[in-house]
A = this chain, B = another copy of it.
Amino acid sequence: MIARVYVGLKPGVLDPQGRTIAHSLNDLGFDEVQDAKQGKVIELTLSGDDREAAEARVKEMCETLLANTVIESYRIELDD
C-alpha cells in the first residue's frame, strides 16, 4: 500500500521558499505568477492492506515525525 503525506506550512506562517520561487518566476518573465507556496510530499510504501489501520498509523507518523505541527499541517492520501 502507498500512503502519500502532503505537508505544508500553516496559513499565516511566512514561506520564504515559496516567496523566493514566486520572485524568481516573475524575474524570468512569468508575470502571471501571483503567489507560490512550497510543501513536501512524502510517499510511504507500507506493508499490510488494512486501509483504516494504515490511515491511523500514518496519522501517528505525521504527529510524531513527518510534520512539525507548530508550523505545518498535513493531509494523508492512500493508494493501493
Contacts and interface: CB of A to CB of B under 8 A. Distances in A.
Given A39-B41, A42-B21, A64 B28 contact: yes
Interface string A60-77: 110011100000000000
**Number of copies of this chain that the complex holds:** 2
Interface in A1-41: 6, 8, 18, 21-22, 24-25, 28, 30, 32-41
A78 B4 CA distance: 19
B33 A45 contact: yes
B38 A42 contact: yes
Given A21-B66, A33-B44, A36-B44, 15 more contacts: A8-B41, A18-B43, A28-B64, A33-B45, A33-B61, A34-B45, A36-B42, A36-B43, A36-B45, A37-B43, A38-B40, A38-B43, A39-B43, A40-B40, A40-B41
